[in-house]
A and B are shown apart, each in its own frame.
Chain A
């Protein structure tokens, strides 16, 4: 495929020193923590945004903050770019390396360090998976709230980098609302700590700055996250509609009425068919659009909220309403939803958009999205966090067909521009990565971007950390 997204030109001085760099890194790390042969590097050339690939110079898999610090100290001294990597599940290419970069993978740092139920916090290494945290405290009645669909595999370090969301963020907020502190290695190897177990820290909210900075301000090696008590009960309910527009306006009306369920998820017919075939969750197959609405609390609370929601849904001619009858059924409903992207792989390759729009625009953007994709002669499946207006059109295409791939990318760009024009934004939770980097100009003025880049430069004056990401390649300050 002709690549429309560029990367920074590799630094020749770094490439020329490859052998030396690898020998030096080997001295800094224990055995089994450095990958430098061509075969071994290949699987690290991409993440879940796999249309783009670049081989890294080397991959290091440190086992401690001190080792991360030693690597970063070394890289800053010799001007070597660094690309942090968690589980490599990024849908925006956040972990895709470049030829002159060292990938710092946090996958060996996967220990839970402390669980403090009294203060409702967990302190974990950055390579711990999102779901591992909830599993570790589940028996005690707690969970970690943000739940990206990839929560089985994605790491907390990656979640912090992208300020990840998830289905249940409608009620509980995204990563930044559930993060209390981090231990972070700066570009020159300095280790700093931000925040702590308290809800707020004195001084600047640097933690807020770090969360969502896509690995450009430092490498987070440990995090303190908030634990939430599990509700008394939780119940997902399926609402089937005759059209995507009807479902979309129903969502707007629910939120507009001041009702905030835990989650409102949307699937259109193609997405329903894909997910049902995989999960056998009992999604209705005779509707054009489906909402999964989860309510939680006591039996009385759930009933009361459901009654109001059903009333609103009736006004939008809801065709079917089905409450899950058991924990197993509820689990299947969520399994189907959370596997939606991967399950799409059964029928086609895809790229996944992440635009977010005001709820009043949801119906309009949905129907325009369909028209845009059809205009490129492609198919689309929609499955997303409707309550937040965080849309995920999956544009289906054939990655082995270069023309198809170019059309898919163009359609994606049009959709994201549409989201911005509708008063929304380019990314709700997946991050900018390389994917949406050049579109940042549609979102921000040059002054907006300059200010963000000034912050970035304050943390990393040499622009060594994840350099090809987030900011358009043109118009950067000279390093």
Chain B
């Protein structure tokens, strides 16, 4: 195995070039099958099962019994490939499926996601990645334990890690379920479990090593799948296949159509309310969300642990730049998607007779992602039409058209009348995005449980074999629980994901940053930072989401609180801040707690300060890593 592994690492470029060629060839082959009249359903099956099969094969080939390979891929992942793997790890169902939809509906306000999910890498690059790589252990809680005096800090970090990652992974499985349900024509709950099988196939046997090399494969598929439809659309609509530049024209046409259709909130207008007036609340929500997402980026353990896998500190830094570049490719394209999709809907759907609507309206309508709500009984055919009263004139007006956020990307190829093979490709890409993130998250959770809780806190004498078996069993268990929650609850993907960011940001960011940049911070500071940040964030999240009326009644001393009916609940908005950015309360609180406790309590010991000095410099060994124990 060692010889094969060496051969593989030496030939990475060739291996993935052949793989990319084979995938393109496969897509063309499916296109030919479609021309020969093979039914769409079969094409969908081929795309999903063949890509799943490839991931499973990589997962199996990368199986390992070595702790170093299982937890940190043998620290042998070059910067470039770690960048791709991080890109796939990063770009989840929310980015691939949800984000263009948010941009479609939110216009400028949706750009908070584009900014928030890229800018955080600057923080990772300058504040964290190189130092965590130099520290060189297995998990993020390892760092908290070493820096803040042992298992109390470790246990708290594990709680934050698991809460954030679990909320996040549920959202990913919902994404997998939506795609699988649509393309395999099976129920959503069952689809969640089918998707789960794919996730486990990738990560069960090979841990981080398997996840890394499948994620590289998944990145290649997801970026191809994301760029092709919008490139074709761009060349159809504008004559130039450069969507990222040409959607400026689409924006101009949308602006013109908005006037004739009577849209009050222009697509590109910044900080406006539903009536199109300037709104400071909209502006503060925009900036609050950006801050939470960016700080969350620099705190999410499944991302930070990717930088444990590079061969050197220098490559960890290079790898952050590569990661952001690969992520950038998708994110600077997403607004183009939204613009072209909106233009298509405004031009070819709105104002058409109901009888002449394109076929995709019915097919996506049947799973509740599209609604044409003109007729009085439209809700019988379209679940989305519940509560919408159409005027029954046989023409689809703008206010009678309903589109689910997640449908924008998935349905765009059909909306634009592209062949079905492109729809299959997008499904494969969405699946790759959701699976790769779910893999990384589940691995982060299972590693925290097996390495941090079991090995470090319960049984430090456990041998390698036992640790790896425990890790795999836990991986399976966590996955099943997550799939069960996803299947029964279902939820808005973007909301769940944004909460995960806020939770991680409030709980871990201050401890990570000050742990490296403020030598004085002692054990108590680190511990209180997590408790206050995480505690406050969770309190506000649960209180505003589930006990909105109580918050309004008992916390009005905080200032302006209003109740918004959303997600079937009465949700409290404190100072008009949407609780999607709930981290805005926890992040400063964590810093404040750390600084206050840091100054009034005992400073970190001389050994600890020496340890910090040693992780600040790339060369040399890490000194006193065990000083805290």
Chains A and B form a bound pair: no
Q: Which residues of A contact B (CB under 8 A)?
A: none
